[in-house]
Amino acid sequence: MNNIKVPHYDAFSPYPNKGNPAGVVLDAAHLSESDMQAIAHKVGFNETVFVVSSDVADLRLKYFTPGHEINLCGHATMASLFALKTKGILGEAGSIKIETNVGVLPIQFSMVTS
């Protein structure tokens, strides 16, 4: 568990350290919930999100504060999906479904041009 990389993403801002911070663990399938909790506590952000597999959706997101698991977090969701998309993990998918503790949510990606 000591070699887990937890990239820091700032949701809702193009500037480092100016958005809502979230830690993102992209490959968390091998981690237990107690591991996830310990990592979130060590990272210290308001939320750290863990990407795991799902039997009912394309993937599952699990959200932890330093003290406990929470059901859903908007900025951690945005951070994890941005990471997955920009690293090519989701390929060319225009939409996916994510499983959370509040249910399965549809996600639609769109390209924004300036």
Residues with catalytic annotation? Answer: 47
Nearest to 90 by CA among 47, 57, 56, 62: 57
> Which string of DSSP letters, residue by residue, matches 49-92?
EEEE--SSSSEEEEEE-SS-EES--HHHHHHHHHHHHHTTTTTT
Contact criterion met (CB below 8 Å) for 21 and 9:
yes
